[in-house]
Amino acid sequence: MQRSDGSSGLVHLRPDSPVRRKGFLMGVATAAFQIEGASDADGRLPSIWDTFCRTPGKVLNGDTGDVACRHYEKWAEDVDLIADLGVDAYRLSIAWPRVMQRDGSRNEKGLDFYKRLLDRLRERGVQTYVTLYHWDLPQHLEDRGGWLNRETSYRFADYADLVSRELAGRVTAWATLNEPWCSAYLGYGNGHHAPGRTDRRYATQALHHLLLGHGLALPALQANDPQAPRGIVANVGAAAPARPTPEDHDAAHLYEVQHNAWILDALLRQRYPDDLFRLWPRTEPLVLPGDMEVIGRPIDYLGINYYYRSHVRSDGANGFVEVRVDGLERTQMDWEVHPDSLRRLLTGFRQAYPNLPPIYITENGCACDDRVEDGRVHDPERLSYIDRHLAAVDEAIREGVDVRGYFIWSLLDNFEWAFGYSRRFGIVHVDYQTQARTLKDSALAIRDFLASRQP
């Protein structure tokens, strides 16, 4: 969708923006459970999300990932779609239950699927950023305690060892975990995600074991695929005080401690922030000697996922309550659109962590109520969202933050976890009945933009 001014729809980027140059990585992202379907094909084991989907009342409309976007069957078509967009890279995840048997041995058919997928992406000139864990823990491990069980950290390291040996040379860069905050807090703290537990003490212990698994996996990735950089992906949150009071400013601080410092302090300072336990008293996890050193092992890059800003007020007892402020631009998820918070967070991380590694924005995007009309999908809100967030990244780079790439979430409309198929994040529309793919206007604009970049 070329605009009359030749801007390809991205009007907020300055002409000299580094984002406009081919050296800045531009990609699209997906996750295995959200698109693959084929939930019991070729020896795939059940995951916690298969179980969660079948628990009444947990997923909107009773939706499941059984079919999703049928990517397990349509992968070659989807690779061609990715390549034809002209993106530099594709971020995908490996389904742990698809590639590993209960006894820890390989599942050849599952591994072969990813080998074919990665080989085809390489043939089409697309770099591959592979995440090992995007929330689909094998159910048999959850039956033994899941991430509350320290043993799961070691089983994750075994899984990372197997997959990195099998896929070595096919992967541009590895990420151990996607959004451990979501796995820990939404999965074990408030029950919104699988496995649906509801205890803050569980959340802090699960997060510790997730990060421990991350640290334990790094040596295997280094040994098996030394040419591929290794990192982790963290979702980050921004907060603004609902009122100009010291109490609400402190509430906003606590919100960002819980969403950001909880993970980043552990990774980059080898400790958990004291203010987390001011917010959540008596929830300290069991940390054994040497754990924080393992968690804090050096990484080659940090993935950052950002979507929205929240407004918060004090709850009057060292905590915060999120409040909805009317009159603000919001997405289909009812999330406030606030690009400058991404810039602020990035520059703040650079100041807070002298050892901050290079950053990739590994997810950024928005859900819209998209419909196909006369063969087209008009989604100007999404294009505007991407445009302004890329401009915020550009500003952060100008302020000294080492941001090297940006991935749009998502390539395809897909299974949006507890919201099922009711939310559409893709730049490509999926008709879930026919599985037809239709490039939205945002995808056409991104394709034109990528074709116009300068060396």
Catalytic residues: 179, 363
The answer to whether the annotation marks 409 as part of a ligand binding site is yes
Q: Cα 89 to the chain's mean position, in Å? A: 15
How does DSSP assign 2-65, residue by residue? --TTS-TT--SS-TT-GGGBTTSEEEEE--HHHH---TTGGGPPPBHHHHHHTSTTSSGGG--S
Q: How far is CA 136 from CA 49, 65, 140, 141, 160, in A?
A: 6, 11, 12, 11, 14
The answer to whether the annotation marks 416 as part of a ligand binding site is yes
Q: Which amino acid is at 21?
A: R
In the sheet that 309-314 helps form, which strands lie side by side, from edge to edge? 238-241, 309-314, 320-323
CB–CB of 115/94 below 8 Å? no
The answer to whether the annotation marks 134 as part of a ligand binding site is yes
User: Left, alpha or beta for 352 (phi > 0: left; psi -120 to 50: alpha)?
Assistant: alpha
Q: How far is CA 173 from CA 93, 248, 290, in A?
A: 12, 40, 27
3-state helix, strand, coil in the chain (%, to 5): 45, 15, 40
CB–CB of 49/65 below 8 Å? yes
Q: Report residue 90 as tokens.
A: 């594709």
**In sequence order, what E strands does 271-336 have?**
301-305, 309-314, 320-323
The answer to whether the annotation marks 61 as part of a ligand binding site is no
The residues near 454 (Cβ < 8 Å, ≥ 6 apart) are: 20, 21, 22
- Measured at the CA of 128, the angle between CA 118 and CA 412, to 5 degrees, comes to 90
The answer to whether the annotation marks 417 as part of a ligand binding site is yes
Provide the 8-state DSSP code for 147.
G
**Cα–Cα nearest to 238, from 353, 315, 335:** 335
Rounded to whole angstroms, the Cα distance separating 423 from 404 reads 29
Q: Report residue 333 as tokens.
A: 């998820």
The answer to whether the annotation marks 142 as part of a ligand binding site is no
Rounded to whole angstroms, the Cα distance separating 443 from 426 reads 9
**Cα–Cα nearest to 446, from 421, 427, 419, 423:** 427
Buried b (16+ CB within 10 A) or exposed e, 281-319: eebebebeeebbebbbbebebbbbbbbbbbbbbbeeeeb
The answer to whether the annotation marks 260 as part of a ligand binding site is no
Residues belonging to the binding site are: 34, 134, 178, 307, 409, 416-417
Residues belonging to the binding site for substrate are: 34, 134, 178, 307, 409, 416-417
